[in-house]
Structure 1
Amino acid sequence: MKRRPGLLPWLVTASAATSAALAAWLYLQPVPPPAQLPAAPTWLTNEAGLTLVTLDPATLARSGIQTAMLASIEHQAEQLAYGSVPDIQPLTDLHSRYRTAQGDFGAAQAAATASNQELKRSRALARDAGNVSEKGLQAAAATASADQAKLETARSTVQALRANAVQQFGEPVAQLLAMQPSAELNRLLNHQDTLLRIALPAQGKGTPPRRISVEDDSGQRVQADLLSAAPQSDPNLAGQVYLYRSTTPLPFGSRLLAHLPVAQRAASGVLIPQDAVVWFGAIPWAYVQTEAGHFLRRPLSDPRPVSGGYFVGSGFKAGEQVVVRGAQMLLSEEQRPQIAASACKDPECDD
């Protein structure tokens, strides 16, 4: 078979031309920019040496951070004391015995009144008409004397029980015991109200506060009003013990932390919610949103625990937005390795 001499060079030339054209076409195509990585948080430092965390919009949207506006509150300075909830079974027993004694006293009083009237009638009849024998007069006198003795015994029993109530629970409770019926006493006996023993600190001697607040193991605060000084000391409580009454039922035997108001003007400040507080370097902090995506970590200066969080008198202002959800995440982001060194002045930055 005869080969065509000019075909192979032509194929080689065509292939080379095609490759060159393809290379030129690819060279002229626009090169897409490299994919950009999500912007990482940046750390800055303001003039006060506080750390500012900045999140880009995408990261902020994914974070689920929530803020709440700080509210202005008044805080009354307080002194702490300790107390307990005594078992009032002795008061229940006294109440039962006292009611029985009062019933006996009433019956004895009625009998003594009747026998005295009979004695007076017998004496009048014997004096005026002589219709009563000497023996009958003596019998009436004996009955009246016996009934009077029973009356005195019943009166002594009531007085002894009242004195016992004073010795155990103080004069105000003893007065409630003497009142029949007594709605206030029934609230104590039915455990609708609670009797409290509170020991004032040694440095707090003087007039006890008329109203205090106490909290149990759960941290729930309830109000209590002064009744009187406790007639008996408590070996588990140091200091002068006073009896208070709360309209909230508390378990018998509970140990209480009492908050005693100090006689000075209330301080103005803001309430930092409990959920806003993060602990770092043994110091409580809170993040304030200065603008969208910018969060400044500030320390809580002289925080005072109150219901729902902490009272602070400086460092924060009413109306500022504080992070109540995501504060721990911001702190974690803050501790991630930084691309560039920062001028952070926190003690932990030296590690």
Structure 2
Amino acid sequence: MKSESDSELNRKPDSEPNREPDRERTAPLLWLMGAIIVALTWALVFYARDEWNLAQDREEEEIETPSRLVEEDGRAALKIPLAAQKTSGIVTAPLAAATWRAEIKLYGSVIDLAPLIELRARYLAAQADAVIARSALNVSEKEYRRIAALYADDRNASQRALQAALGTWRADQARQAAAKTAIDGALTALRTQWGDVLAEWATTPDSRSFAALLKRDDAIVQIAIPFDVALPEQGAAIMVAPLAASDGERPAQFISPSPNVDSTVLGRTFFYRTDARDLRYGARVVARPDAGDDSEQGVLVPFPAVVWHGGKSWVYVQAEAERFERREVDAQRELDQGWFSPRLKTGDAIVISGAQLLLSEELKYQIRNENED
């Protein structure tokens, strides 16, 4: 027994020195873990700083004075005290009246009048031939009747002379018929290719309208009008300008439908007469029809007043001094300084600065009420 206890006592001094190396190895690990914890703590503080600043900014942007979402007459509204409106930068302005006219651009070209002038010359030549043929026919008819009377009066004229006079008369009849056919053909070509109105101008002696075309005081433009646009009426006017020079706009008066199509533009074609200044044959033109009674009355909603939510566009109308209602507007027809809307009334006060803030405030209270429920 003594020997075993003695051996244990003898081993204790040997084990004590072995613990010192363990402590030496553990100490650096503890220091390293402490350093990592400190570094993570500072990293958390550093990165959370930006979130904290953003949260502070959001709190500053929100309306400091508590606002409440109320419901009156079945309409939800926000009640914002005047002091809170001033602090939050909420600005209102009355709506101004506006008129909406559908802006339609039409396209066409300046018509070369050479074919029209050529057909007119053909028509006039056929008319001249008809006059000559009619005169010759009158002479040959009288000559034939004279010789026929002599031949009947005891053969005072030969049968050969009678037959020659008859042949001349019939030839003149044929020439007159041919001249009439030429006149009808030229007139038909004029009406088929240029319409009744221009055909009448071309065939009327001393026509002032056609004379203006010949002197290049006026020009004919062919305008293509889409099928979904109302047809022009006799005497209706549009504004036309060279395609590359819109500042050269001038009025053009309706003449008639055009029998020809425009290969570059779809739609029905019509002839218009306009000032020939700076217009060359074949030049492309752009036209703007008069909207007439198609205009619509409404209001101009400034761009900053419109907020978007749920796929729709809204504005906040100041129903009372401290009461704001969100109403839907039609933000599809754009004007120079805002949207055209027929839903609101002229003079209604709407929020033109701070509308997004009101929307956030309204949604915040809606979420709060839903959570309370």
Q: How many pairs does the alignment contain?
A: 227
Give 2:232's aligned residue. Answer: 208
Separation of aligned partners in 2, 1:113 and 1:89? 36
Deviation at 1:196, TM superposition (A): 1.2
**2:125 equivalent to 1:103:** no
Among candidates 92, 114, 120, match of residue 145 of structure 2: 120
Normalising to structure 2: TM-score of the pair?
A: 0.50
Deviation at 1:193, TM superposition (A): 1.1
* Residues 239-292 of structure 1: per-residue CA shift (max 9 Å, x gap): 1111122244432222222222345265689xxxxxxxxxxxxxxxxxxxxxxx
Q: Give, as a single letter, the amino acid of the residue that structure 2 aligns with 1:258.
A: A
Separation of aligned partners in 2, 1:209 and 1:75? 22
**2:256 equivalent to 1:256:** no
**2:266 equivalent to 1:238:** yes
Separation of aligned partners in 2, 1:114 and 1:47? 97
Among candidates 202, 215, 221, match of residue 196 of structure 1: 221
**2:122 equivalent to 1:94:** no
Among candidates 270, 290, 303, match of residue 335 of structure 2: 303
Separation of aligned partners in 1, 2:104 and 2:197? 26
Q: Is the 8 A contact 1:77 1:264 kept in 2?
A: no
Give 2:157's aligned residue. Answer: 132
Separation of aligned partners in 2, 1:89 and 1:179? 18
Q: Is the 8 A contact 1:214 1:224 kept in 2?
A: yes
**2:180 equivalent to 1:155:** yes
Separation of aligned partners in 1, 2:176 and 2:106? 47
Give 1:229's aligned residue. Answer: 257
Deviation at 1:122, TM superposition (A): 2.6
Q: Is the 8 A contact 2:90 2:355 kept in 1?
A: no
Separation of aligned partners in 2, 1:106 and 1:193? 32
Deviation at 1:227, TM superposition (A): 2.1
Among candidates 48, 56, 64, match of residue 92 of structure 2: 48
Taking only the aligned residue pairs, the percentage that are identical comes to 28
Q: Which runs of no fewer than 5 residues in structure 1 stay unpaired?
A: 1-44, 51-71, 270-300, 305-311, 318-342
* Residues 64-110 of structure 1: per-residue CA shift (max 9 Å, x gap): xxxxxxxx999976533211112112122223333323222221121
Q: Is the 8 A contact 2:119 2:186 kept in 1?
A: yes
Separation of aligned partners in 2, 1:122 and 1:75? 83
Q: Is the 8 A contact 2:108 2:223 kept in 1?
A: yes
Deviation at 1:201, TM superposition (A): 0.8
**2:169 equivalent to 1:141:** no
Deviation at 1:302, TM superposition (A): 4.3
Query: 1:74-89 alignment to 2 at 5 Å?
Result: 79-89=104-114
Q: Is the 8 A contact 1:49 1:344 kept in 2?
A: no
Separation of aligned partners in 2, 1:313 and 1:94? 54
Q: Give, as a single letter, the amino acid of the residue that structure 2 aligns with 1:184.
A: S
Q: Give, as a single letter, the amino acid of the residue that structure 2 aligns with 1:47.
A: V
Q: Which runs of no fewer than 5 residues in structure 2 stay unpaired?
A: 1-88, 299-332, 347-351, 357-373
Give 2:74's aligned residue. Answer: none
Deviation at 1:186, TM superposition (A): 2.0
Q: Is the 8 A contact 2:108 2:262 kept in 1?
A: no
Among candidates 229, 245, 254, match of residue 218 of structure 1: 245
Q: Secondary structure at the match of 2:123?
A: helix
Q: Give, as a single letter, the amino acid of the residue that structure 1 aligns with 2:131.
A: G
Deviation at 1:238, TM superposition (A): 0.8
Give 2:36's aligned residue. Answer: none
Separation of aligned partners in 2, 1:203 and 1:265? 14
* Root-mean-square deviation (Å): 4.2
Q: Is the 8 A contact 1:224 1:246 kept in 2?
A: yes
Query: 1:61-80 alignment to 2 at 5 Å?
Result: 79-80=104-105
Stretches (4+) displaced over 3 A: 72-79, 124-130, 265-269, 301-304, 343-347
Deviation at 1:142, TM superposition (A): 0.6
Separation of aligned partners in 1, 2:165 and 2:99? 75
Q: Is the 8 A contact 2:91 2:353 kept in 1?
A: no
Separation of aligned partners in 1, 2:286 and 2:209? 25
Larger Cα-atom Rg:
2
Separation of aligned partners in 1, 2:101 and 2:175? 57
Deviation at 1:178, TM superposition (A): 1.8
Q: Give, as a single letter, the amino acid of the residue that structure 2 aligns with 1:255.
A: R
Separation of aligned partners in 2, 1:223 and 1:117? 58
Deviation at 1:195, TM superposition (A): 0.8
Separation of aligned partners in 1, 2:180 and 2:218? 30
TM-aligned CA distance change 1:196 to 1:344, over 3 Å: same
Separation of aligned partners in 2, 1:114 and 1:233? 48
Q: Is the 8 A contact 1:76 1:261 kept in 2?
A: no
Separation of aligned partners in 2, 1:181 and 1:114? 30
Q: Give, as a single letter, the amino acid of the residue that structure 2 aligns with 1:303.
A: L
Q: Secondary structure at the match of 1:48?
A: strand
